Amino acid sequence: MKKIELLVLSLSFLFVFFACDNIENKNKKEESKTDQQQSKLEETELADETFLEFYEEFVADENFQLERVKFPVVGSKVLDYEEQEEWTSENWEMLLDVNEVDQNVFTVEIVEDENRIEHTIYIPNSGFGVYYAFELIGGKWYLTERTDTNL
């Protein structure tokens, strides 16, 4: 009788041991799956926005534009040879789309790399020109430099 009790007890113990082990393995697999899903979500959230996505909203929405200007902006508004005004959120003038500039009148130069884009618009030999620089910071594009010259 003791052998049967010992056998039943041993089998019960093995059953409980394997059941717990299976539950633990299942939980680990679910945690791993959840971790992988969270990692993919974080990667998506951290993915760099494209400049085109940013720029279309930047030139269309004044509030968005102000949110995406890194004040203090490098550069200024050159009013004449002796007077300059630093850019602030209070005196900010909305930038227009460089793609809408009349290139029969203005020269447009665009310099791009993966983390910085520069726009220069000017009338040759006139004293008029604007320069903007955008930089990718923390996965988002910001305007970091602006100089407007009207001499």
pTM of the predicted structure, to 2 decimals: 0.69
* Alpha-helical segments (H) within 47-84: 51-58, 62-67
- Over residues 1-38, the pLDDT tens digits come to 565 654 455 545 545 455 556 666 666 666 766 666 66
Which has more confidence, 108 or 47?
A: 108
Distance of CA 31 to the CA centre of its chain: 29
Query: Is the CB of residue 132 less than 8 Å from the CB of residue 51?
Result: no
**Spatial separation of the C-alpha atoms in residues 39 and 18, rounded to whole Å:** 31
Write out the two tokens for 16: 């409980």
Q: First-to-last CA distance in the chain?
A: 109
**Spatial separation of the C-alpha atoms in residues 54 and 115, rounded to whole Å:** 13
Look at residues 129, 121, 135 and name the one whose alpha carbon lies nearest to residue 58: 135
Q: CB under 8 Å to 130, separation ≥6 — which residues?
A: 119, 120, 121, 122, 146, 147, 148, 149
- Over residues 49-58, the pLDDT tens digits come to 999 999 999 9
For residues 76-87, give the mean pLDDT: 89
CA distances from residue 82 to 73, 85, 149 in whole angstroms, order as listed: 20, 10, 12
Give me the amino acid identity at 94: M
